Structure 1
Amino acid sequence: MKNLNYSLALPAVLLVIVLLFLAAGFPTQSQAMTNVAMDFVTHWFGWLVELASLALVGFLFWLAFSKYGQIKLGNHAPQYSLFTYSGMIFTAGVGASLIYWGIGEPMSYLQSPPLFAQADSYTAAAWAVTYSMFHWGITGWAIYCFPAIPFAYAFYVKKQRSLKVSTLCESVIGKNPIAAKAIDLLAIFGTLAAFASSLSLTVTLLSAGAADLLGIHNSLALQGGIILLFVVVLVLVMLVDFNKGISKVSDYTVIAAIAFSLFLLFSTHPQFILNNITDSVGMMLDNFFRMSLWTDPVQQSGFPQSWTQYYWFWYYAYLIMMGLFITRISQGRSIKELILITISMGSLGCAFFITIFGGYAVWAQMLGGFPVQQWVSEGGLPFAVVSLIKTLPASSFVLGVFLIIQFFFMLTTMSSASVTTAMLTTNRLELNGDPDNKVKLLWAGAIALISFSVFLAGGGISTIKSLCVVAGLPMMFIFAILLKQLMSELHGLSDAKLVQLTKHSLN
C-alpha cells in the first residue's frame, strides 16, 4: 500500500497496544499514575475546558450566521440526502454507547446527584435525565463539529490532498518535523484509544446480552467472536460498495432505533416518560449556563470533574475522528449547513433516546419496583441494561432486536473510525476524499486487534480511558491552533473571492 504513511500508522497502533499490556501487567501502578494525571488535568484545567467549550458553542452559531457561513465546501451537489447525512453523523458520534449510558448515567446520578441534591431523592431524579441529556447535547456536538470546518475548508476549498493535522497547523508551528509528528500521533492515538474503548464497551454489552439470550457462558471467545463479526460485516459492506453500503446501514439503523424507542415508550409508561421529558428539557434550559460552568470549588463533590469535565476532555480526544468523518461526507454542504445540522441533529437525536431509555430507567427504579441500581452494583452496567430490556413485553425477541440494533450502531461508528484513521495516514487523498479500501480495511483490522487486546489485557481499559481524557488537554490547544488558522484564512478572503465561494450555496 504505497499511499499509506507507515511512519504514522505503525507507531500509533503499537503505542496503544503497549499501553494496554503495561496497564494489564502493572494495573495498580498504571491506574494510580493515570488517576494522578487526570486529577491534575481536571483540577488545574477543568475551568478552562468549561469556559472554552461554552465559548465554542457561541462561536459556531456566530460563524453559521455570519457571511462566512454561506461558503460552500466544494462545487458539487451534496452527496447524501439530509436524512442520510444527519444519520451518518449521529451514528458515527454515538455508537452503541448512547443507550448504554442513557440508562447508566441516570442511575449513577440518582446515587451521586449533582448540584447538592440528596441521593435517591426526587430532586436527584429530576436531575438524572437532565444531566445525561446535557452531557450528550449541544456542547459535545459543538466540539465534534468544529474541526470539520478547517478540514473541509482545506480539502474542498483550498484543494489540499493531505489532511494530516500537522499540515493544518503549519502556519503556527512552522515546519517542525518533531512537533508535526507528535501532533499527528496524538490525533491518531486519541482516535484509536477512544474508539477501542467504545467498541470494547459495546462488545461487553453485546456479549452479556448474547450469553443471556442463548443461554451460554459469557467468555473471551464470545467477545472475540463478536469483534470478528464486526470486521467480517464491515468487509462485506466494503465489497458491495463502502459509501453506499454504510449510508444504507446508517439509514436502516436509525429507523430501527427510533421504532424500538417508540415501542419502549408506548409499551411501558408513556405518561411518566413524556412528563419526565418535558420536565428534563425545562430543567436543562433553566440551568444550562449553571451546568456548563459549575466547578464546585467549595463543596468539592468531584461531580463536575468526574462527569462534565471528563466528557468535554473525552470529546476533545475524539474530535479528530469526528471532524474528519464529517469532512468526508460534507462535500457540497455550506459551512452553515455543516454546523447547524451537526449540532441540532446530534443533540436532538441524543435527547430523543436518552429521555426515553433514561426516563424508563428512572421510572423502573423509583416507581416501578425494579432494582436497577442493584443490578448495576451486583452485575455491572451491561447486566443492568440487559435486565432492564428484559422487563419489556416479549422479552427474548425484544432483547434480540435490541442487540442487533446496537451491533449496527457500532458498525457505523467503526466504519467512520476506519475511514478517519485511513484519511489521517494517507499520503495523498483522492478528489472525493475517500481513502483506498485496502487502507480502510487495514485500519478496521487494527482497531479490532486493539479492541480484542482490551479483553486480553483484562482491566487495561480504565487506564486507556483515563489517558484519552488526559490526551484531550493538548488536543484542546491544537483545537485553538486550528481555530486561529481558520479565522486567518477566512479574514484573508477578498470580497470577490468570498462572493465566488458563496454564490453556489446562495442559489
Structure 2
Amino acid sequence: MARSIRHLVFWPTFLILITAVSLSVRDKDSFLANTTAMNNWVLDHFSWLFTLGSVYLLVLAVIIYFSRLGNIRIGGEDAKPMLSKPRWFSITLCTTLAVGVLFWTTAEPLYHLMSPPESLGLEAGSTDAILFSMSTMFLHWSFTPYAIYAVPALVFALAFYNRRQKFSISSMLEPVFGPRITRYSGLIDALALYSLVAGMASTLGTGALTLAGGIGQYTGGETTPLLLGIIISVIVVTFVLSAASGLQKGIARLSSLNAGLLLVLGVFVFVCGPTIFMLKLGVESFGVYLDTFFTRSLFTGAAGNDQWPYWWSIFYWAIWFAWAPVTALFLGRISRGYTVREFLRVNLFYPALFAVAWITIFSSASLYFQLHTDVDLNSVLNDQGVEHVLYSLFDQLPLSGVWIPLLLFIAFVSYVTAADSNTDAIGNLCTRGLTADSEGNSGVPMKVIWGGMVGVVAWVMTSSVGIDGVKMLSNLGGLPALIIILLASGAIWRWLSNPELLNVEANPRRDACAATSHDSKDSAAILDQKAQ
C-alpha cells in the first residue's frame, strides 16, 4: 500500500484531523471559540457568493440539459454502463440523502414555524409561517443541493472518461487551466478530502446520537460515551466492509435495501398519517417555493441585519459545497455509459422529486401534529433534541411499537449507505494509478484507515466536545470547495460551445504518465510536454 499511496493527499489531511481532535480535547472552549470565529468570518464575507453560487449551478444544470451537450455519452459512444438505471438511481439517492434528511424533515419545519426570520415580519405559528416553513424545506433539501452535487460530478465524469484525466479533483480544472494545474493536484485533493472526512465524522456523530436516542426510548438510559463508542464502532465496521466489497456488491445492495425501506416508510406515513392535509399543504407550499425561489435563494439578511440565513440557508450551502468535490468523484465514476441528459435526470431531477415527495409527507405530518393535535413536537425538539421528534411523531401512528425499531434500522442503513460510497471515493482519491479504463479501486487497508479515522473523530467529538465542533471543521472547507466548483464550471461553458472536445477518440490517454507520480513536478512537466 505504501507505494500506491498519494502522500501529499493522505498525510496532510490525516495529520490535520489528528491535530484538531487533540486540540479539541485539550481545550474545548478555545477550540469551539476559534472554529466558530473562523466560520463566522467566512459567512460574513462570502455569504453573497454562496447564495449566488447555489443558484448559478441550478441554472447551469438546466442550460446543460437542453443544450447539445445533453446528447454526449459519458465515456464515448461505445461506452457500456457499469450499472442499470434503477440501481444507479438507488445508489445516487441513498448516498446523497444520508441519515440527516430522515430526521431533519420532521424537526426543521418546527424551527421555521416557531422562529421565522425577523426581517420578514412573520408571526410564529401563523399561516404565513406554515407556508414559509414548508417552502423553506423544499429550498434546503431538493433541487438546489442536488445541483451543487450534480454539476461538479458531471464535470468530473466528462473529464475522467471523455478527456482521459486522472482520478483527481484537479481533473475538473484541467479544461479551464490546462495540464499545468496537475502540479497542484495534491493540495486541491487534500483540501477537499479534509472537508469530506470532517463532514462524515459530523454526520456519523449525529447518526450515533440519533440511534442512541432511539435506543433510549426502550432502555430509558442516558447517552454515554461507551454507548456512543459501541454504536459508532458497529457503523464503521459495517460501512468499511461494504466499501471494501466493491461497488457492485456492498454499495449497490445496501443502496437498493435502503431505497426500498425508505419507500415503505414513506408510503406508511402517507397512508396512515393526515393524507389530505399533506397533499393540500404540499401543493400549496410548493407553489410558494416556486413563486419565491430566486428571492429566497438569494436572501442574505443584509437589509434587515437578520442572522437567520447564516443559521440556515447559507449554512446549508456551505455544507453542500464542502462535500461536493469528493462526492463528485463517486457520482461521476459510476455514470459511465449514460448520456449527459440521463445523468442530470438521475443525479438531480429524480432525487429532487423524491425529496419533494418526502418533505410533503414528513414535514406536513410534523406541522399537522404540532398545529392540530395536543402533541407538542416543538417542546420535544427543544427539550429532548432533533432525533426524538421523529420517534414522537411515530408514537401517534398505528403500530408504533413495530415501526420505531424499524426506524432505528433504517437510520443505521441510511448512514452506512452514504458512508460506504464516500469511503470508496476517499480511498480512491488517496491511491495512485486509477484510470478511466480501470475497474479496480483502492485496497481494503486504505478504506480501513479512513473508516477508523472517521470513527475516532466522531467518537471523540461527540463524547467530549459536542457535534458542533466537527461541523465547524467541515464547514470551513465550504469556501475553498465553492471556489473549486465555480472554477470547474468553466469547463462546461467551453464544452457547450465546443462539444467535440469531449470526443474520446480525439483525447489521447494521459493516465499512464499521470499515474506514475500524481503529485510531483515531474508528472506536471511530462503533461506539459504532451500538451505542446
The TM-score normalised by the length of structure 1 is 0.91
Cα distance change on mapping 1:213 and 1:352 into 2, 3 Å: farther
How many Å apart are 1:109 and its aligned residue?
0.4
Q: Which of 292, 296, 313 lines up with 2:297 in the alignment?
A: 292
Which whole-Å deviations, capped at 9, do the CAs of 1:371-430 have from their partners, x for residues lacking one? 111111111212333222333222222101111111111111011110111121111115
| 1:403 counterpart letter in structure 2 | L
Q: Which of 341, 349, 353 lines up with 1:348 in the alignment?
A: 353
Cα distance change on mapping 1:29 and 1:232 into 2, 3 Å: closer
CA distance in 2, matches of 1:118, 1:339: 39
1:312 maps onto 2:328 in alignment:
no
Aligned residue in 2 for 1:505: none
Q: Provide the secondary structure at the position in 1 that maps to 2:74.
A: coil
Q: Provide the secondary structure at the position in 1 that maps to 2:15.
A: helix
Q: Which of 108, 117, 131 lines up with 2:122 in the alignment?
A: 117
Aligned residue in 2 for 1:402: 407
CA distance in 2, matches of 1:57, 1:397: 40
Aligned residue in 2 for 1:98: 101
1:79-478 map, 5 Å: 79-114=82-117, 115-160=120-165, 162-169=166-173, 172=177, 175=180, 179-237=184-242, 242-429=247-434, 431-432=437-438, 434-438=440-444, 439-459=446-466, 461-478=467-484
How many Å apart are 1:289 and its aligned residue?
1.3
Deviates more, 1:95-104 or 1:3-12: 3-12
Q: Which residues of structure 2 form unaligned runs of 5+?
A: 508-532
* Root mean square deviation, CA, Å: 2.5
Q: Provide the secondary structure at the position in 1 that maps to 2:319.
A: helix
Q: Note if contact 2:74-2:158 (Cα within 8 Å) is conserved in structure 1.
A: yes
Q: Note if contact 2:142-2:356 (Cα within 8 Å) is conserved in structure 1.
A: yes
| 1:466 counterpart letter in structure 2 | M
Aligned residue in 2 for 1:16: 17
How many Å apart are 1:446 and its aligned residue?
2.6
How many Å apart are 1:183 and its aligned residue?
1.8
Q: Note if contact 1:269-1:360 (Cα within 8 Å) is conserved in structure 2.
A: yes
Q: Which residues of structure 1 form unaligned runs of 5+?
A: 502-507
Q: Across the two proteins, how many residue pairs are aligned to each other?
A: 499
| 2:84 counterpart letter in structure 1 | S
How many Å apart are 1:495 and its aligned residue?
8.5
Deviates more, 1:198-207 or 1:386-395: 386-395
1:63 maps onto 2:71 in alignment:
no
CA distance in 2, matches of 1:215, 1:462: 25
CA distance in 2, matches of 1:48, 1:463: 24
The TM-score normalised by the length of structure 2 is 0.87
CA distance in 2, matches of 1:367, 1:434: 55
Q: Note if contact 1:256-1:405 (Cα within 8 Å) is conserved in structure 2.
A: yes
Q: Note if contact 1:96-1:406 (Cα within 8 Å) is conserved in structure 2.
A: yes
Q: Note if contact 1:99-1:354 (Cα within 8 Å) is conserved in structure 2.
A: no
How many Å apart are 1:444 and its aligned residue?
2.4
CA distance in 2, matches of 1:178, 1:152: 21
CA distance in 2, matches of 1:436, 1:33: 35
Deviates more, 1:97-106 or 1:491-500: 491-500
Q: Provide the secondary structure at the position in 2 that maps to 1:478.
A: helix
Aligned residue in 2 for 1:34: 35
Aligned residue in 1 for 2:7: 6
Which whole-Å deviations, capped at 9, do the CAs of 1:477-500 have from their partners, x for residues lacking one? 111221224544665554994999
How many Å apart are 1:108 and its aligned residue?
0.7
Cα distance change on mapping 1:195 and 1:495 into 2, 3 Å: closer
Q: Provide the secondary structure at the position in 2 that maps to 1:333.
A: coil
Which whole-Å deviations, capped at 9, do the CAs of 1:257-305 have from their partners, x for residues lacking one? 1111111122121122221111221111111111111223222221122
CA distance in 2, matches of 1:237, 1:349: 25
| 1:164 counterpart letter in structure 2 | S
Cα distance change on mapping 1:420 and 1:405 into 2, 3 Å: same
Which whole-Å deviations, capped at 9, do the CAs of 1:411-467 have from their partners, x for residues lacking one? 1101111011112111111534541341333332332222223224332x3133223
Deviates more, 1:185-194 or 1:11-20: 11-20
CA distance in 1, matches of 2:87, 2:490: 31
Cα distance change on mapping 1:21 and 1:101 into 2, 3 Å: farther
Q: Note if contact 1:172-1:481 (Cα within 8 Å) is conserved in structure 2.
A: no
CA distance in 1, matches of 2:181, 2:262: 47
